[in-house]
Structure 1
Amino acid sequence: MTNSSAASTVRAEGPRVVLVTGKGGVGKTTSAAALAVDAARSGRRTLVMSTDVAHSLGDALGVELRLAASWDETLEVEPGLHAQAVGARTSVAADWGVLRDYLLKVLDSVGVDAVVADELTALPGADEITALLTLGHHASSGAWDVVVVDCAPTAETLRLLALPEVLGWHLDRLLPAQRRLLTAMRPAAAAAAGVPLPGPEVLGVVTTWREHMAQVRTILTSESSSVRIVLTPENVVIAEARRILTSLSLHGYAVDAVLVNRVIPVDDDPWRAAWNAAQAAGLTTITESFHGIPVLTAPYLAGEPTGTEALAELAARTEVLDGDLAPLEAPVRGTALRVEEDGAEFVLALPLPLARSGDVDLARRGDDLVIDVGGVRRVLALPSVLRRCIVKNAGVRAGELRVRFVRDEEVWPRGG
């Protein structure tokens, strides 16, 4: 299924980025690889990246794909199509070394054994940070028209996509403190404190990471990026896909399509007929659940689709079941957070499809609003106008969280 009639068009604002995710075992990697092969054979310069620690992308493509040593290291699979597997040892290691060396000095100064210190300074989330930095590099390099990302299963994908905002939030609060510390504390004070002060090179790395996270967040929430959810027509899988749609919306990410994989062709065989009936019911639930989002179907093939020819066949046999799938060159139509003025009050509106009021917990922390939906949390920095307000009430209506604010008379009196 070729995704556009204008395949050779180059996006002036950067490549089209499609992140492919789904519950483990639904054929996510195969689907990502098929999309990439189809895009490349349509005339687009295409890169398919694996951020899944399982790294089975090479198996799907039928090539030996090793972990890239740097973010520029890609493997040409066929003309117009390159592949890459990224992990904790790709690119970011040099920058992390600066922070790690500082932490080792701090731990040594307080008497922590060197072997233990080495274990304590293992970077949590290194795979996710590397993936984001590498994606940001490719999105701004001008080398690609399409970047397809084979993400980890849904829980890890949510952690990956939440990271730019979460890490940015923490770094925004760390950087001013670091600057004040480096300005106010002299070596004598550091000696009195008993721990070494971070040098300017440490602050430089943290600042660079903050800039990269802001860039990646901008890319992933732009009209050039979307998430594609892969699922199978089974109740447990459908339920998880519904949850990830809500969670992605919570973090401001657009879903451009859901792909129902492994749909068994209709047959008179009694065994297949039973599966056909069950899958038909599942497809009905999917089209109702994801109303407004294109639903695609891919057949359950006689053999495992490995290698570019089999993947191209899979892409050709993928069909639109419901809705209209926009070409890859078209802007992604997402629905972002907005603030509306309603008389003397303000309403913060955030799309949360499939959520109910009982699923949502809110907490105000200073200038931040903490939103928890079914255990998935987002710390939202409030727009300036809402920082001088207090929450009046909140609820979910028609797939949208609406939080109503009123002026805090102590800090924003009438006429002020």
Structure 2
Amino acid sequence: MRILLFTGKGGVGKSTVAAGTSALAAARGLRTLVLSTDAAHSLADAFGSPVGSEPTEVAENLFVQQVDAQRRFEQSWADIQGYLLQVLDVVGVDPVAAEELTVIPGAEEVLALLELRLHALSGRWDVIVVDCAPTAETLRLLALPEALGWYMQRVFPFERRIVKALKPVLTRAAGVPMPGDSVFDAVERLHAELDEVRDLLAGPDSSVRLVMTPEAVVLAEARRSFTTLSLFGYRVDGVVANRVFPEAEADAWRTGWVEAQAKVLDETEESFAGLPILRSVYRTGEPVGVEALRDLAEEVYGDVDPLAPPAGEGPLKVTRTDTGATLELQLPFVSKAEVDLARHGDELVVTVGSYRRLLSLPAGLARHKVKGARVEGGALQVKFEERTP
């Protein structure tokens, strides 16, 4: 099963490109689902067809779903929210305000990805295309499972034991209800499901495709997205430059746009060297409907297979040496000064800008010491050496 995620800065046309790719896959006889995890759903508008919270067939082999994030939120967060509401009620918070306080910002978009897990496990689909939220929300979403994993491994077991042992005393002393097993079970279940989602999206059959328009600001965000996606182990397999003005005789205004876009497109080719840079020409009308979307995708991909599995070993690679090993993590567009590296027990802590990843080292490397590190050729290289007895 092939999984493709489309993301980009808001307004660049990622939903249109995602919809077109799914229409092309279905036309090839593959049972295809295009799934929107963006709170501002637009797939129904793109297909010109009503779309519900369950897979809706819009053409042969092509199904569309706009995830009901509120329903998913209630299913996965109900026990946790119920406990938090009890606590806020005891301390006198207004019920309406308490309801708002127990909803984590962005949680609906994160929980929408759990729908992807269910579809992947169902075995119903040959291809799943995900129309993600705009870039910033997508990056936070994809970073969450690993961050939650650290809490679950390091803090959660200890906290659960303490609460279980002291629950009667704490409840009487503080007057605040302590979380029961149902709350802890809900957190553990949520973590396990998100962890499965992360493994699925970082696997060999999944990749992210960046959609951009030929503008300097949009290119800068696409570069940052490439760096951060690589940091968290997700493969980027291509870039789609959308709304490119055709080179033709025109008035001075459009000629100026053509020249400005050509400059950004040259920078795009340099920035993403080694990745396919696909182009979609600015059309006279908005593509709406399965046929129009399929035509757009055929033009964009040309002779390129839109469903080809991502090449290479992924952003993270470990190579054995005579004295130990070298861990290499692809970090395109960053310099040594922008990377902070620390060793914490069996983990390697890598920080780039406002994003931090905790890499759990395999047993073979955990017994080694860090000998040195450098950033070279768009990659962080960490040298490990065997400890002397």
**Matched position secondary structure for 1:361:** strand
Partner residue, 2:82: 101
Match of 1:303 among 285, 295, 303: 285
Aligned residue identity for 1:48: V
Number of residues of Structure 1 aligned to a counterpart in Structure 2: 388
Partner residue, 1:362: 341
Unaligned runs of 5+ in 1: 1-14
Match of 2:43 among 37, 40, 57: 57
Match of 1:170 among 151, 156, 161: 151
Cα deviation, residue 142, structure 1: 0.7
Instruction: Within 5 Å, give how 1:4-43 maps onto structure 2.
Output: 15-43=1-29
On the 8 A contact 2:5/2:208 being kept in 1, the answer is yes
Cα deviation, residue 281, structure 1: 2.5
Alignment partners' CA distance in 2, 1:384 and 1:193: 43
Match of 1:403 among 379, 382, 385: 382
Relative to structure 1, is the Cα distance of residues 386 and 195 closer, same or farther in structure 2, using a 3 angstrom cutoff?
farther
TM-score of the superposition, structure 1-length normalised?
A: 0.85
Instruction: Within 5 Å, give how 1:119-198 maps onto structure 2.
Output: 119-181=100-162, 183-185=164-166, 187-188=168-169, 190-198=171-179
Alignment partners' CA distance in 2, 1:382 and 1:397: 21
Instruction: Within 5 Å, give how 1:337-356 maps onto structure 2.
Output: 337-344=316-323, 346-356=325-335
Partner residue, 1:291: 273
Where do 4+ consecutive residues of structure 1 move more than 6 Å? Answer: none
Relative to structure 1, is the Cα distance of residues 350 and 337 closer, same or farther in structure 2, using a 3 angstrom cutoff?
same
Aligned residue identity for 2:312: R
On the 8 A contact 1:178/1:203 being kept in 2, the answer is no
Alignment partners' CA distance in 2, 1:275 and 1:331: 33
On the 8 A contact 2:213/2:243 being kept in 1, the answer is yes
Q: Which moved more, 1:211-220 or 1:173-182?
A: 173-182
Partner residue, 2:244: 263
On the 8 A contact 1:254/1:333 being kept in 2, the answer is no
Match of 2:350 among 368, 371, 374: 371
**Matched position secondary structure for 1:280:** helix
Aligned residue identity for 1:166: A
Q: Which moved more, 1:196-205 or 1:250-259?
A: 196-205
Partner residue, 1:254: 235
| Larger helix percent | 2
Q: Which moved more, 1:56-65 or 1:276-285?
A: 276-285
Aligned residue identity for 2:19: A
Partner residue, 1:7: none
Unaligned runs of 5+ in 2: none
Give yes or no for the alignment of 1:314 onto 2:296.
yes
Cα deviation, residue 273, structure 1: 3.7
On the 8 A contact 2:241/2:277 being kept in 1, the answer is yes
Relative to structure 1, is the Cα distance of residues 363 and 87 closer, same or farther in structure 2, using a 3 angstrom cutoff?
farther
Relative to structure 1, is the Cα distance of residues 376 and 221 closer, same or farther in structure 2, using a 3 angstrom cutoff?
same
Aligned-pair RMSD on alpha carbons? Answer: 2.4
Partner residue, 1:118: 99
**Matched position secondary structure for 1:90:** helix
